[in-house]
Amino acid sequence: MELTLPKVARTLATDATYSKATVYHFTLFFLQFAECVMKPEQIASIAHLARLSISETEVPVYAESLSRILSLVGELERAGTAGVAPMAHPLPGLTQRLRADEVTETDQHERYQANAPETAASLYLVPKVIE
């Protein structure tokens, strides 16, 4: 039988010798060594945050592949990064350029709205939001 972290935690939790607090800290201690495993409910929550509809059958598929991606990404932990400044811009010394706060665009809404799924009176239409 493969011993996974949830199984160990469950075994400990059902053993009256250990208090709930001990089980909790024990689990936390081991979690940091465990491979990150995405649970189906986490996938559903991420999909909701990302505003993506995901079918029931897709959930385990994404749980598996995201777990594998996160375990690949977990390799970053080996890097010593104490005191290293995060790099947001790939060119040294450069940051995003700002421009003067002036109107530079002309009104072209008709051209742009030609691609919209639904418009009326130059407005984008969506299902009713306010009851």
Partner 1 sequence: MSIHTKTLPQLAAGLRAGEFSAVELARHFLGRIEAHGPALNALISVTADTALAQAAEADRLLAQGKGGPLTGIPLVHKDIFCTQGVRTTCGSRMLDNFVAPYDATVVAKLKAAGMVMLGKANMDEFAMGSSNETSFHGPVKNPWNTALVPGGSSGGSAATVAARLAPVATATDTGGSIRQPAALCGLTGLKPTYGRVSRYGMIAFASSLDQGGMMTASAEDAALVLAGMAGFDTRDSTSVDRPVPDYAAALDRPLKGLKIGLLKEFFDKGLDPDMERSVREALAVYQKLGATLTEVSLPSIGLSVPAYYVVAPAECSSNLARFDGVRFGYRCQDPKDLIDLYKRSRGEGFGAEVKRRIMTGTYVLSAGYYDAYYLKAQQVRRLIANDFERAFGEVDVIMGPTTPAPAFGLGDKTSDPITMYLNDIYTIGANLAGLPALSIPCAPVRQLPAGLQIIGRHFDEERLLNVAHAYQRETDWHTKVPAAYE
Tokens of 62: 């994404």
Per CB under 8 A, contacts with partner 1 among 23-52 are 42-43, 46-52
User: Closer to partner 1 at the Cβ: 20 or 89?
Assistant: 89
Does position 13 interact with partner 1 (CB under 8 A)? The reply is: no
Packing angle between helix 20-31 and helix 5-14, nearest 10 degrees? 170
Going residue by residue from 48 to 77, which x/- string records binding to partner 1, judged by CB under 8 A?
xxxxxxx---x---x--xx-xxx-xxxxxx
Residue 56 is given by DSSP the state: T
- φ/ψ of 28, rounded to 5, equals -60, -40
The number of helix segments (H) and strand segments (E) in the chain equals 5, 2
Residues found near partner 1 in the complex (CB under 8 A): 42-43, 46-54, 58, 62, 65-66, 68-70, 72-79, 81, 84-92, 94, 96-97, 99, 108, 111-118, 124, 126-129
